Chain A
Amino acid sequence: MTRQSVAMAHEKIQELAWEPLYHTPVSQYGTDYTFQKAKKKDPLKQVLRSYFPMQEEKDHRVYGAADGAIRGNMFRQVQERWLEWQKLFLSIIPLPEISAARAMPLLFNNVPNPELHNGQAIQMIDEVRHSTIQQNLKRLYMNNYIDPAGFNSSLRNFQNDYCGTIGRQFAEGFITGDAITAASIYLTIVAETAFTNTLFVAMPAEAAANGDYLLPTVFHSVQSDESRHISNGYATLLMALADEGNHQLLERDLRYAWWNNHRVVDAAIGTFIEYGTKDRRKDRESYAEMWRRWIYDDYYRSYLVPLEKYGLVIPHDLIEESWNQIWNKGYVHEVAQFFATGWLANYWRIDPMTDKDFEWFEYKYPGWYDKYGAWWENYSRLSTPNGHHPIVAEDVDYQYPHRCWTCMVPCLVREDMVMAEVDGQMRTYCHEACRWTDVEAFRPTYQGRETPNMGQLIGKREWETLYHGWNWADVVSDMGYVRDDGFTLVAQPHLNLDPKKMWNLDHMRRMGPLLSPNVVLNEMTPEEQQAFHADYIRGGPAGRPAPAEA
């Protein structure tokens, strides 16, 4: 290697930028933030001369491990319960990664600091790395794991599945709307700095405990790039804080980004870690304990709180409320229960919980069994077809939930559900913070201030709408959740691969039609809607319908 120090090399490449004289770069992404030119430094001083060999070395380790996993018959000892959830996770995550790459140019024109642009360009190609290395990991699973179904269809199925669609926000939020809201606050300040800890550190540890050491190999390699991305975000945040006119927007965006990340990431990763594992050692950390360590202590207390002195208004209330949701309101358990309720509209298999699991949950979350135990026993009882319907259509003391228009996770903590009429449509929200996001934050004015660059929530955000009135057999066929015999479902509520024990289209055909909760709600009179709301918020926990009025 050359003799020049990294510091000298990095200083030299600062000479590359120049101030345009004849033409100004095109401005394609607006922001309501304002930035003054400032010489914020890129603290990691990355130069491509050292970057490329570093990444190549990391690749050597990843691909060496992949080779070793196959030669060493790793799949003889992976837990199917775990790998099945990877069908969902690895179908989602390549899109957020590549979207992070696509997000970088949103910052170029808006953040006037060429030194940071260099770091952002390297982040761009890091993200291409992450997306393709994750697609490759999924390919390896598809080729070597016992059941390829769901891996083989992942990029089709993730796009129309309700869980995949929840996860898709984690990508689309990076690339549209106000450039700083999207590519800086949502992506780097919250998603990367806070939630990649649970995504790429906590979850791989659980993979290893379930016999899969490839996921940790790939994702720790990915995570080693995140520290540079975090510093990109931090430098941009400091520049934004320098202008007091941005403080109101920063407060708005931190609230939105924090809450949305909590709703989306904690739903998915919490479920994988708590319900996708066979490791029930009582001294292994629960998701709540991991969250407390990685998110609350490492991110909130160590990263966010010190920024308060620069004028950043931190959403203390929402952070405490997120913890309240996880610890007191069973957010992760409610989500896992719902994912299992809707197993038939998925493309992976969900293993029933056993007595050993119950014991662990009760130990980690005292009171768990009284809330969720009976339902999981029913899930187990109804898992193989035996003249009954899938659990969603059986009477198991569970009310099918309405979907949150904003985060698209259903309104599972029933008491928190709020409704609002927006753009002529009655919408349900899982929490006041999600109502605020749609009704107040993602609007062209915010607290009387013009915010013409703020994005919009768009799309058909409730998947059931598209299949309102359809037979379930036609729903799963239309979505592509059928195996290559054209008959057996990809998804199953158990891990038994004996075709006689697997659910098929005939079983679906016998069910009643799928009804969209939102369509039904909008067919009600205003009085009926209010009565429905009053009843809904008396329901739960564990999806129980409201008790009959005395």
Chain B
Amino acid sequence: MTTEVTAERSSPKPEFTDAEAGAKVFPDSTARRYNYYTPAKRKQSHYEDVTVEVQPDPRHYLAQGWLYGFADGRGGYPLTWTALKAWGVDRAEPERYPGSGGKGYEWPAHGWHEFRDPNEEWELTFYRNNSNVVRQINQNVETARQTKAFEQWNPNWVTFVERNVGAWMHVEHGLGLYVFANAQRRAPTNMHNNAISVNSMHRIRFAQDLALYNLTLSEEIPDFDGKAHVETWAEDPAWQGVRRVAEQLTAVDDWAEAVFAANVVFEPLVGELFRSQLVQQAAPGNGDFVTPTVVGAGEFDYASRDLRYTKAMFELLTNDKEFADHNKAVIGGWLEEWVPRCLVAARELQPIWSQPDAKPPRFEDGLDRAKSRFSGILSDLDLTDPKELTQ
């Protein structure tokens, strides 16, 4: 028997270093919390620890200022990218010159830094939640496919889904990419921008959920036209109002206006009107228990997460200790513009209420509920109903 001799493998040698917390007592040995910000509540949350102050502010610790600017010399995240103001923003950035030192204002320096996402979204929560959503949708659709559930659909309902539910995917996609993904470059703090980027992904995911559901229906339902949504979105007069508003939302320069108009005005008056007052109501009567589960996932994201952070974000501004009146006036102007646009879009949708065989509740009743919901949101934000709501 021979023994093969091999050279000793080279590997690092572990060493006992006793570098554990508590091994020694010295200044700072027990200072185990991030000390550069004040938590919103008594104790620093995990969400705050991974989010707060990652995006610097020259008013805090950014003593040398931003290092790279646009062609006009502005760097970072200019506060003027929205017309809204938070307390303290009119104080100039601390001036720096030879021998000036580097101290900024006491944290938080201005009101923008008081915002916290009530959903406390960071990567761990975000991926868990969205993985659960796509898994559940996949299971629902797959079960429906296996049990031939689509065969129960009324013929007109098939047409309704291929055209109208299909058309909605474009709204989610357009807003997700060109309103929310765009806005997450522009807000003054990391807390704002992370919440907005999560909102963006909810919408993009919902758009894809609808598109892939549409693909399944093309495979499962004879004569289901998987491309009808494109033509509906492009040409159907009933959808042109929605399309016009969706495109107009992408054209807004002010990031806060874009988020407000999309989440506070458009969603209750158009989005929820279509999804909750029409699709969710009409589907069961037309033999469809699957579509509401797909649409419901997106609806839940909006109603329980995205609207929640949006309200927290704007509540601070409408109750700001320095600029509440200014902000309410600005937002009032936005409401005067966006409410009529959204109501026109909503009303242009009315013809599709009559398309299913089993009729949903009346359009006017649905619109009343949508207006009432919208009015409630405004009330929560300490805003009054614009006169345009009575149109």
Residues on A lying within 8 angstroms of B by beta carbon are 1-4, 8-9, 12-13, 15-18, 20-26, 28, 30, 47-49, 52-53, 55-56, 59, 63, 73, 75-80, 83, 94-95, 98, 101-106, 108, 117-118, 120-121, 124-125, 128-129, 131-133, 135-136, 139, 142-149, 152-157, 159-160, 165, 168-169, 172-173, 175-178, 182, 208-211, 278-279, 281, 283-284, 408, 444, 452-461, 463, 465-470, 474, 478-480, 483-485, 487-488, 490, 497-499, 502, 516, 519
Contacts and interface: CB of A to CB of B under 8 A. Distances in A.
B27 A460 contact: no
B102 interface: yes
27 contacts: A2-B142, A16-B211, A25-B251, A47-B212, A49-B208, A52-B134, A75-B20, A83-B19, A95-B55, A102-B185, A124-B184, A128-B126, A133-B123, A133-B124, A139-B49, A144-B20, A144-B21, A152-B33, A155-B34, A156-B35, A160-B64, A165-B64, A177-B68, A211-B15, A465-B97, A466-B100, A485-B27
A5 to B, nearest CB: 10
Given A23-B251, A156-B53, A76 B131 contact: no
Contact of A160 (B16, B61, B209): B61
Given A1-B138, A456-B73, A502-B26, A76 B20 contact: yes
Given A456-B73, A483-B28, 14 more contacts: A12-B214, A47-B208, A49-B209, A80-B19, A95-B56, A132-B123, A145-B21, A156-B61, A159-B56, A172-B67, A172-B75, A211-B17, A283-B10, A458-B67
Interface stretch (B172-180, B274-282, B300-308): B172-180
Nearest to B52: A155
Nearest to A78: B19
Given A23-B247, A149-B31, A444 B63 contact: no
Given A48-B134, A460-B65, A108 B102 contact: no
Given A16-B208, A165-B64, A456-B68, A125 B201 contact: yes
Nearest to A209: B12
Nearest to A117: B177
B263 interface: no
A177 B67 CA distance: 11
A173 B201 CA distance: 25
Contact of B20 (A3, A49, A73, A182): A73
A465 B98 contact: yes
A147 B26 CA distance: 9
Interface string B306-323: 000000000000000000
B185 A468 contact: no
B41 interface: no
B71 A466 contact: no
A176 B68 contact: yes
Given A102-B193, A458-B73, A108 B32 contact: no
B227 A459 contact: no
B32 A142 contact: yes
B230 interface: yes
B73 A148 contact: no
Contact of B170 (A16, A135, A469): A16
A132 B50 contact: yes
Nearest to B247: A23
Contacts, number: 398
A341 B370 CA distance: 66
B5 interface: no
B148 to A, nearest CB: 15
Most buried by A among B14, B27, B35: B27
A487 B26 CA distance: 12
Contacts of A117: 177
B250 interface: yes
Interface of B: 10, 12, 14-24, 26-36, 46, 49-56, 60-71, 73, 75-76, 96-103, 122-124, 126-128, 130-131, 133-135, 137-138, 141-142, 169-170, 173-174, 176-178, 181-182, 184-186, 190, 193-194, 197-198, 200-201, 204-205, 207-209, 211-212, 214-216, 219, 226-227, 229-230, 233-234, 240, 243-244, 247-248, 250-253
B190 A98 contact: yes
Nearest to A519: B98
Contacts of B103: 478
A73 B124 CA distance: 24
A478 B32 CA distance: 21
Contacts of B12: 208-210, 279, 281, 284
B184 to A, nearest CB: 6
A18 B233 contact: yes
Contact of A478 (B23, B97, B102): B102
Most buried by B among A18, A117, A136, A444: A18
Contact of B75 (A59, A459, A485): A459
